[in-house]
A and B are shown apart, each in its own frame.
Chain A
């Protein structure tokens, strides 16, 4: 807090004092509710009788004003109530005006001006609009985010899709939904984010740790799911999206119904249902890959100028089949699967049924948030939320009558936060806040399978301050955060493992009880992490701008990195963590050069991420068990370097035709061993040509080409195993990446006016048009089966 006050003081003193009537008044007109700037707002100074409008960035500027004089400023906007305010000129004055923005169009959100960024002014950020989200309504969050440059995904089949930001994933990616940091056991590579995409208004991705207000450990980046905006007007409106798909022979339906009042009160309910059977590769059925998702959310609150309060609850329920052919009992089974590139061993007729192996996930969030605005100071927001994540993973058991899950985890998290946002001056963005969190993980012992993640209690505490100041063409930014993490775990170790690791000598004090073959231990960990960000932005002219950002982040090791100590059944490998791990530290520099013009816009954003004590898992040998030989994958810490560039290009060829081009490159190197890092996304490029014609029912047709190169930089992690049938050793090739592939996708949509309140949008889309057989390096099931074949989907969207 002190730091923040100092920061403000420094900023204010920078404003110089001048005399006579040569001063300017500049600022932005801002929508109070979502903090977006308003284009075409009309401003007039009554005393002088001059009228101007805000420009495309929502900025206004009056000149020749007298120093010390007070003027009456009238601000109006077609969608807002007109405001009159008094402004005293003190040198070249900067003053921004907040307006209550009432949306006229029901449900339809017209985004004018540039959406305000979530991660500060110099952070490298990409956004997905509501339209992009809706086009992926039947897919998952990861599928939708895949469209952004620099964002790829680590998949387990086609339903478990984990976002990867500039080569990093899992615990290195922080997910914020409506202000809540999602606590959904994100450490696991086969754990997809437990979020209903359809509940999102827009999604932002901050590439790197610049979003300090969200956490200091986002070594990869932060994904921010913003809620849908609700207008302050008397209205009742809804939106329903129906999607049917051929691949999976299923579809989804999602509906939002919102009631709002002029007084600011509102209530909104949303529900989603998705049902798919087995998906299909071009040449065969991918048996047991269906999904059944049921989600609901409710919000109720009041949104006023000076205060607001909202209570909300959401539930996410998903049942996901895991490709049956990907379940292997031993390394020999894995070797057989890899050698067999044809039809997988387990391929049955299409069914909607989902059997083991499968996941059943339930995530619930109950939340209360409130804000209060203090004139000329800023806005305080308070939030409390409770999250409960239940994860059941069903494996194929020896006894098929045994229907117990192999993994049964319940993660409960209470969080409370208080944030302050300085809003008195639009040239200064400043925020500060504190957050406290308490978490309990309970692995249910009824599974009869040793716990993958132990019982633990965790306490987190964080405090941050960040600010930016915009001068005429320059922006400077800085932020600091401190995090405290405390983990108190109760973990059963196998005595043989405890001794083989030398823990009996290193940590005898952790032993609580010796049960013979197992020992109960009580490891406790405390981490103090400092993270920081600094950035600078420069506008060359109306076209070109450059930003540079540096972020320091620290991440405490996650439970699986610390505690893994045995067979990970579904992966057919023994995974070993290490309780001696220290935190991971990342130093990342990102630069972006942008050009913004209606005919040609681009962003070129290179980055360099240097991570010390980077935690990775890789094969280190093999171990003999009664099931045969198993590869041992051990976590280790090393120094890593990730370099890359993301390029976005948009051309408007003519009034109706536009071309989009994206290229993402990332290279990962283990600098200690001088070897490439495993599972780094290959270079990929997306090119799309879009034809639009408003006269023909808003016709929009696009053809998209997606090309993924082969990943040529990978470590050799192959290992040898004994094959009984041939009485000889064979090399199991788990490292060679699959070939490059090229997919063509089509999409066309039309809008129809049903009546003055309702519109209907019809969209037809085809993905993988030529039914190309391919395998994706970042799909954990690439050893077992091809990726998805052609899919035709029809989507109907009705606003009413």
Chain B
């Protein structure tokens, strides 16, 4: 009987211990909101010709990798047989104020490259106007030259840690940070 009694005491003590542990819960602290820093929400390509006509190609995906698709807008026409000075801007607008990621890309120029890829049939050629510290192209600044009137896809790609120098997207490798395709018409 003595065994039973000591056993009972032993058990009661232990059960009480378990319940005490199970019920100890932290206070409800509200977690801090995180604005995604790694995301690029806006890609803007601004083109200007000698006579001051500008064209803007823009793709905005304000929810990042959320369910909403990017909104693509093209303002201004592209004229045939014209030379444009181009600049690309990358922004993260989930942060306030918006973070200009172009600066980051420029700072680490040797680890990045922007590629401009016109589809077959779209009469566009591009030339890089900027270089990284190794003399390889970067692509934030570029010159775009149009040919005869045509239309097709024009893709802007930002690659992180590509092989540099390279012969274009096909052998550049690296990770894709941006890939935006615009349906462009040259008039």
Contact = CB atoms under 8 A, between A and B. Distances in A.
Interface string B89-103: 000001000000100
Interface string A360-380: 000000000000101101001
Given A414-B24, A520-B33, A382 B14 contact: yes
A225 interface: no
B51 interface: no
A496 interface: yes
A694 interface: no
Contacts of A623: 65, 67, 69
A727 B66 contact: no
B97 to A, nearest CB: 15
A566 B67 CA distance: 9
Interface stretch (A87-95, A285-293, A455-463): A455-463
B178 interface: yes
Contact of B170 (A513, A517, A725): A725
A448 B62 contact: no
Given A724-B157, A727-B120, A399 B108 contact: yes
A120 B67 CA distance: 49
B102 to A, nearest CB: 11
A450 B66 CA distance: 12
Given A450-B34, A727-B119, A436 B176 contact: no
Contact of B36 (A375, A450, A500, A628): A450
A345 B170 CA distance: 12
A112 to B, nearest CB: 32
B34 A451 contact: yes
A62 to B, nearest CB: 29
Nearest to B27: A457
A567 B65 contact: yes
Contacts of B120: 727
Contacts of B111: 400
Interface stretch (B15-23, B74-82, B140-148): B15-23
Contact of A438 (B14, B24, B38): B24
Interface residues of B, number: 68
Given A436-B21, A490-B30, A520-B33, A625 B161 contact: no
B84 to A, nearest CB: 21
B21 A625 contact: no
A455 B31 contact: yes
Contacts of B62: 517
Interface stretch (A313-321, A326-334, A663-671): A326-334
B136 to A, nearest CB: 17
B33 A492 contact: yes
A497 interface: yes
Contacts of A372: 10
Contacts of A448: 34-38
Contact of A626 (B18, B104, B179): B179
A374 B168 CA distance: 79
B179 A330 contact: yes
B153 interface: yes
Nearest to A569: B38
Contact of A627 (B94, B155, B176): B176
Contact of A418 (B11, B160, B178): B11
Contacts of A656: none
Contacts of A732: none
Interface string A768-782: 000000000000000
B169 interface: yes
A515 B33 contact: yes
Given A399-B104, A725-B117, A445 B65 contact: no
B66 A398 contact: no
Given A398-B104, A414-B21, A727-B119, A625 B70 contact: yes
A248 to B, nearest CB: 24
Interface residues of A, number: 75
B125 to A, nearest CB: 16
B18 A436 contact: yes
A218 to B, nearest CB: 21
A49 B168 CA distance: 95
B186 interface: no
A520 B104 CA distance: 30
B65 A345 contact: no
Given A416-B21, A457-B25, A625 B61 contact: yes
B59 interface: yes
A397 B31 contact: no
Contacts of A436: 18-19, 21-22
B14 A497 contact: no
Contact of A490 (B3, B31, B64, B153): B31
Interface in B168-182: 168-170, 173-181
Contact of B67 (A416, A461, A490, A500): A500
Nearest to A336: B173
B26 A457 contact: yes
A332 B115 CA distance: 15
Given A396-B161, A398-B38, A461-B22, A418 B14 contact: yes
B175 A329 contact: yes
Contacts of B161: 396
A374 B2 CA distance: 11
Contact of B179 (A346, A417, A628): A628
A494 interface: yes
Identify the interface centre among B64, B117, B161, B168: most chain A CB within 10 Å of its CB. Answer: B64
Interface of A: 327-330, 332-333, 345-346, 372, 374-375, 377, 380, 382, 384, 396-401, 406, 414-418, 434-438, 440, 443, 445, 447-451, 454-455, 457, 459-461, 488, 490, 492, 494-497, 500, 512-513, 515, 517-518, 520, 566-567, 569, 574, 623-628, 630, 722, 724-725, 727
22 contacts: A329-B174, A330-B176, A333-B176, A346-B173, A380-B7, A398-B105, A415-B21, A416-B17, A436-B22, A438-B25, A445-B32, A459-B25, A494-B63, A494-B64, A517-B94, A625-B64, A625-B65, A625-B70, A627-B178, A724-B155, A725-B168, A727-B120
Given A398-B101, A445-B31, A724-B181, 18 more contacts: A328-B175, A329-B159, A330-B179, A333-B175, A345-B173, A372-B10, A380-B11, A382-B17, A418-B11, A438-B21, A461-B22, A497-B66, A497-B67, A512-B30, A574-B65, A624-B70, A628-B176, A724-B117
